[in-house]
Chain A
């Protein structure tokens, strides 16, 4: 069965650079959530979209932005990267009242 696909799986960037993380949903899933998970921490909600419109925001820095495209894939754009942005980034997608399915994550390392 198709799952949530995230790319890239690993990303190394230098401080002050920009990174773009991508999330491809399960077919017919119209909601996407983004999370940041630091080492030894619980997933922190960043932002969500429903039908290509921003739905809710969590602890997302102003340096980050995201959008959901017409094909329902989503991208998380991160600028002016800091060492503290190093983390696992997950997206999750759902449709209607179904449970949310998570991708395998993108490990971002800022050096």
Chain B
């Protein structure tokens, strides 16, 4: 399983773009990269998932370089409600069952 490394914490202000980078040097060929958001005492919530290049949805973008050893979650124009812990997970999404391993997430604090 690919181990992930993220910054422990980040600070931002409302309206700014936030980029959180995750390192996963030993990512396997079949692995996808998935990001989750978690608020205190709530279950993690899916944000975005990708395999390579760029993926965009209504809430975020995910940038994955060609070597796939890292990925960057981009949150455009954050608001106070984006204050949460963000987790990067790497794994084979086609694996029936298996493990979804959480590493140490990034605690994002958005200030007014």
Instruction: Digitize B74-104: 1 where CB-to-A-CB distance is under 8 Å, 0 elsewhere.
Output: 0000000000000100000110111111111
Which residue of A53, A90, A96, A99 has the most chain B CB atoms within 10 A of its CB atom? A99
Closest to B92 in A: A97
Is the CB–CB distance between B44 and A45 below 8 Å? Answer: no
| A19 to B95 CA separation, bound complex (whole angstroms) | 30
Residues of A43-59 contacting chain B, CB below 8 A = 43-45, 48-51, 53, 55-56, 58
Q: Chain B residues near A56: list those with CB within 8 A.
A: 97-99
Interface residues on B, range: 20 to 34
Partner of B44, one of A43, A96, A98: A43
Majority secondary structure of chain B interface residues (helix, strand, loop or mixed): loop
Known: A31-B96, A58-B99. A99 touches B42 (CB 8 A): no
The total number of A-B Cβ pairs within 8 Å is 64
Majority secondary structure of chain A interface residues (helix, strand, loop or mixed): strand
Q: Is B46 an interface residue (CB 8 A)?
A: yes
Is the CB–CB distance between B101 and A45 below 8 Å? Answer: yes
Which residue of B94, B100, B102 has the most chain A CB atoms within 10 A of its CB atom? B100
Known: A50-B97, A56-B97, A99-B34. A104 touches B102 (CB 8 A): no
The contact sample of 21 A-B pairs, CB cut-off 8 A, is A31-B97, A33-B99, A33-B100, A48-B100, A49-B97, A50-B97, A51-B96, A55-B98, A56-B97, A56-B98, A56-B99, A58-B99, A90-B44, A92-B43, A92-B100, A96-B94, A97-B93, A99-B49, A102-B43, A105-B42, A107-B41
